[in-house]
Amino acid sequence: MALGKRLKAIRAGIDASRSYALPEAIKLVKSNARAKFDETVEIAMNLGIDPRHADQMVRGLVGLPNGTGKTVRIGVFARGAKAEEAVAAGADVVGAEDLAEKVQGGEINFDRCIATPDMMGLVGRLGKILGPRGLMPNPRLGTVTMDVKGAIAAAKAGQVEFRAEKAGIVHAGIGKASFPEEKLIENARAFVDAIQKAKPTGAKGTYMKKVSLSSSMGAAVRVDLTTLAG
């Protein structure tokens, strides 16, 4: 399928054979974000791993210093005082069996799912629904916790979850095209640093192979790996 005129024009201004310094890559991505909405700036990282092996999986959470610019809807499985705490902390959906019934019926009105430990017997039965969507609460990610208030605050402040896909690619939104360049640079470096720290024990050879940035509707810009450190 032929590329649209707008995308062709954008790609014409990007040298596909070149790796750009991070500040220059951010500038290019911002200038090419010309959609009628505030596009998300996305980072994609090709890692030298095979996530099919447990000792090469890359997964975790990172708090971006300047947030993501996205409103995150929070669903919480909790009862009693913890349910009340979740509501007070700003959770969008809170419940137990009633919430589980909604999820089973296809009504999933949240982007991040948090659960208290005592609710995992119930939540575990929803694994086939929540798992493929990346919504299954996990104690290692801080989403199975008694600190419901803290987990909700972290999620709403710009915490991003990352997980390597089958081909060893990790990607995430690191802000909006309307963000100042400096804030996008800070967010990008915070995300890259988190990926570096999450390097699995089974990773051999070159860990970080390729990094590129793009906006929702824009073309990818390859980033010079030596410019990613703060």
Domain membership flag for residue 25: yes
Q: Residue 2 pLDDT > 60, yes or no?
A: no
The share of the chain scoring above pLDDT 90, in percent, equals 73
pLDDT band, residue 34 (cuts 50/70/90):
confident
Q: What per-residue confidence (pLDDT) applies to 14? A: 79
Region 74-92 average pLDDT? 97
Domain membership flag for residue 55: yes
Q: Are residues 49 and 113 in the same domain?
A: no
Domain membership flag for residue 142: yes
Domain membership flag for residue 172: yes
Q: Are residues 121 and 88 in the same domain?
A: yes
Q: Are residues 171 and 64 in the same domain?
A: yes
Q: Are residues 54 and 117 in the same domain?
A: no
- Per-residue pLDDT of 148-170, as tens digits, reads 999 999 888 888 889 898 889 99
Q: Are residues 80 and 192 in the same domain?
A: no
Q: What per-residue confidence (pLDDT) applies to 47? A: 96
Domain boundary among 127, 156, 185: 156
Domain membership flag for residue 188: yes
Return contacts of 9-16, CB within 8 angstroms, 24+ apart.
Answer: 10/34, 10/218, 10/219, 11/219, 14/219, 14/221, 16/222
Instruction: Tell me how crowded residue 107 is: count the other CB atoms within 10 A of its CB.
Output: 10
Least confident among 63-67, 76-80, 86-90, 121-125: 63-67
Alpha-carbon distance of 140 to 38, in angstroms, equals: 32
- Per-residue pLDDT of 8-23, as tens digits, reads 666 656 777 889 999 9
Q: Are residues 222 and 177 in the same domain?
A: yes
Alpha-carbon distance of 31 to 98, in angstroms, equals: 46
Domain boundary among 107, 123, 156: 156
Q: Residue 1 pLDDT > 70, yes or no?
A: no
Region 31-40 average pLDDT? 91
Domain boundary among 156, 186, 202: 156
Least confident among 120-124, 158-162, 186-190: 158-162
Residue 170 is part of a domain; what is its CATH number?
Answer: 3.30.190.20
Q: Are residues 36 and 146 in the same domain?
A: no
Q: Are residues 78 and 135 in the same domain?
A: yes
Q: Are residues 142 and 165 in the same domain?
A: no
Domain region containing 222:
16-68+159-227
Report pTM: 0.80
Region 196-209 average pLDDT? 92
Q: What per-residue confidence (pLDDT) applies to 121? A: 96
Region 134-138 average pLDDT? 92
Q: Residue 193 pLDDT > 50, yes or no?
A: yes
Starting at the edge strand found earlier in the chain, the sheet holding 74-77 runs 93-95, 74-77, 112-115
- For the chain, strand residue ranges (E) read 40-47, 59-63, 74-77, 93-95, 112-115, 159-163, 169-176, 208-215, 221-222
Alpha-carbon distance of 165 to 5, in angstroms, equals: 31
Those residues whose C-beta lies under 8 Å from the C-beta of residue 18, and which sit 6 or more positions away, are: 222
Alpha-carbon distance of 120 to 17, in angstroms, equals: 49
Domain membership flag for residue 32: yes
Read off the tokens for 221.
């810009």
Q: Give how many domains the chain has, as a whole number.
A: 2
